[in-house]
Amino acid sequence: MEFYITALILGLCLSSMGLGIFITMKIFRIPDITTDGSYTLGAVVTAILLSNHWNMGAIIPVVLIAGAIAGILTGLIHTYIKIDALLSGILVMTALYSINLTLLGRSNVPLLDVSNLFSVFTVFSNSVYNSLAIGLLFIVVITLLVGYILRTDFGIAMRATGNSTSMTRALGINNNKMKIIGLAIANALTALSGYLVAQYQNFTDINMGIGIVITGLGSVLIGEALIKWWNITGIPGQLITVICGSILFQLVLAFTLSIGVDPNLLKLVTASFVLLIVIIPRLRTAS
Amino acid sequence: MIELQHISKRFNKGKVNEVLALQDVSLTIPEQEFVVVIGANGSGKTTLLNILSGAEYCTEGNVIISGTDVSRLPEYKRSKWIARVFQDPLKGTASDLSILDNFRLAAIRTTNKKLIIGVNEAFKKRVKDTISILGMGLENKLEQSMGTLSGGQRQALTLLMSVMDDTRILLLDEPTAALDPRSAALILQTADNLIKQYHLTAILITHNLKDANQYGTRLIQMGEGKIIRDLQKTDKAALTLPQMYEWFN
Ligand SMILES: Nc1ncnc2c1ncn2[C@@H]1O[C@H](COP(=O)(O)OP(=O)(O)OP(=O)(O)O)[C@@H](O)[C@H]1O
Ligand SMILES: [Mg+2]
């Protein structure tokens, strides 16, 4: 049982990234691969600052800014140098690998002897439930914040930008600026997942971000299926489905491990699972 | 209000498919004039509006709005004067957003998009009242996404959205091309009313000569990137439909 709760907590930690991918993929229709790098960046910044005995609350703005800068770079390359969004993201992600390695100094930093977000507060005496409660609380706050932003005038403008650039230009919106801000927000959220996971797993590894974008995409795709299924239209509902998607994703991975699948095959399982999520709704509409 | 000075527009310069869409077009439109533009397909009508709105930059010449040279000002900055209804009904609205959110965006066209929630009960009421003049029943579907509406319905809403915020210039590019005759008549009548009510300077592009005859205070015919006829108020009023049909034979 604890095994599944662990997966549930991991799903919660990763759902911040899911919300980020929701913004880039669903709102802006940009496939943003920066994610792999900005997720690790968040974890790297967390590891360095925690090791230097920073307060874990004070680390959050630094993590957000680091992620946002990564997103801004991708955005600038995409909008001003007019390079395909996918390629822009790959460029920044690749560069970030070196930056992360330089910052971290080595490929793996354990965070066992420093206090962290999940151990510093006590809601429940059982440490697993305690982590669950803290993770949940954290994500609730993030979701409320993102939900609020998306419903403001600025948020409406952002959502319209992904829909009809001719309309938004005619309505006084600088589409390039919007895309850059959107990518900044998305990657800040992704870095925040790195912040959470590093503390939850008690280590930062330079390779922890490899292929993580597919997990985020999977969450959004599951969310999308749920949106259709439950006929959800409002923004808050859509964000909740992404979080459900992120949790479901981790539960499925935990299940595959529990039935004895070789952990080396985990990425293969992940990719196949995402493929399945994409295919199943199509089969339904085709029949 | 609007001054176009020696405007030329060349597409695909230096390539085999180079097009001279506008050739040395000069046009002055005083405040509150309602100009109707007719002309064959490909004669440069849409290009003219694009250059005025900033969707395209002219190759040569100057665009002046309210005394300001805006030739190199991007479209999103010119939106403080200009509202637009596109030839393509899908272009003027955002499909995934609700009717309400679309109207909200239109209502803040000339201002900064702030981090405040602007869609409140008072705003809903305002949108409801605005939409109800169409008599299409859309005022009861405010939460519905734009994508679920027909092209004609979307075009009608785009027109109403154009006066949600302070507007000086209204550009209408074949706003009724995708509409059934009854809706088309309704839209043009509504546009005409709005233009008078808000004292707008307007340009309407149409292929319907009857509409061109009925509406507007000035008539311009374009041909091969040039203005080939320009009739002021009294001349336009004296013009008959059969005379106009003659121009196209
Ligand atoms: N983006 C573009 N790239 C290349 N050529 C273009 C572009 N836009 C317009 N043109 C060309 O410029 C000319 C004028 O086009 P425009 O769209 O202004 O015509 P129009 O008068 O609006 O025609 P219609 O009545 O069919 O809407 C056409 O020859 C067209 O092919
Ligand atoms: Mg046209």
Chain A residue nearest residue B52, CA to CA: A170
Q: pLDDT tens across A239-264, in order?
A: 999 999 999 999 999 998 888 888 88
Residue ranges lining ligand 1, Cβ < 6 Å: B 11-12, 19, 21, 39, 41-47
For residue A228, pLDDT beyond 90: no
ipTM entry: 0.91
Probe residue for ligand 1, chosen from B22, B46, B50, B59 as the CB with the greatest number of ligand atoms within 8 Å: B46
- Which protein residue has the closest C-alpha to ligand 1 atom 9? B47
Q: Select the residue of B93, B104, B110 nearest A153 (Cβ to Cβ).
A: B104
Q: How far is the CA of B46 from the centre of ligand 1 (A)?
A: 7
Residue nearest to atom 11 of ligand 1 (CA): B21
Asked if pLDDT for residue A77 goes beyond 80, the answer is yes
Domain ranges of chain B: 2-95+164-247
pLDDT value at A207 more than 90: yes
- List, in sequence order, the alpha helices (H) in chain A: 2-21, 34-51, 56-79, 85-104, 117-120, 127-151, 153-161, 165-170, 175-201, 212-230, 235-258, 266-286
The CA–CA distances, whole Å, from B103 to A112, B124, B165, B199 equal 53, 9, 10, 21
From the CA of A141, how many Å to the nearest CA of chain B? 17
Length of chain A: 287
Tell which phi-psi region holds residue B119, choosing left (phi > 0), alpha (psi between -120 and 50) or beta.
beta
pLDDT at A155 over 60: yes
Quote the pLDDT of residue B212. 94
Q: Is residue A179 predicted with pLDDT exceeding 90? A: yes
* Residue B172 pLDDT: 96
The size of chain B, in residues, is 249
At A286 the pLDDT is: 60
pLDDT band with cut points at 50, 70 and 90 for residue A87:
very high
- Residue B98 near chain A (CB below 8 Å): yes
DSSP line for B205-240 = E-S-HHHHHHS-SEEEEEETTEEEEEE-HHHHHH--
* Separation CA B70–CA B78 (nearest Å): 8
Interchain pair B117, A152: CB under 8 A: yes
Whole-number Å distance, alpha carbon B25 to ligand 2 midpoint, is 17
Residue A245 phi, psi dihedral angles, 5° rounding:
-60, -45
So what's the pLDDT on residue B54?
95
| Burial readout B49-65 (b: 16 or more C-beta within 10 A, e: otherwise) | bbbbbbbbebeebebeb
pLDDT of residue B191: 95
**Measured between CA atoms, how close is B238 to chain A, in angstroms?**
36
Average pLDDT over residues A131-150: 96
Q: How many CB atoms lie within 10 A of CB B238?
A: 9
Task: Quote the pLDDT of residue A121.
Answer: 81
CATH 2.170.190.11 describes domain B2-95+164-247: no
User: Coil, strand, or helix at residue A191?
Assistant: helix
Residue of the CA atom closest to atom 25 of ligand 1: B41
pLDDT digits (tens, 9 = 90+) for B27-61: 999 999 999 999 999 999 999 999 999 999 999 99
Q: Which residues of chain B have pLDDT under 50?
A: none
What percent of chain A has a predicted confidence (pLDDT) above 70?
99
Exposure on the CB side of residue A44, measured as CA atoms within 13 A? 24
Tell whether B110 lies on the interface with A, counting CB pairs under 8 A. yes
- pLDDT class of A287 with cuts at 50, 70, 90: low
User: Which ligand does the CA of B226 lie closest to?
Assistant: 1
Residues B166, A159: Cα–Cα separation, whole Å:
23
Q: Using an 8 Å CB-CB cutoff, list chain A residues near B57.
A: none
Which of A163, A166, A172 comes nearest B96 by C-beta? A163
Chain A closest-CA separation from residue B115 CA (Å): 5
pLDDT mean over A156-160: 96
Apex A251 CA angle, A247 and A255, nearest 5: 175
> Looking at chain A from residue 224 to 283, which residues have their Cβ under 8 Å from any Cβ of chain B?
233
Quick one: pLDDT at residue B180? 87
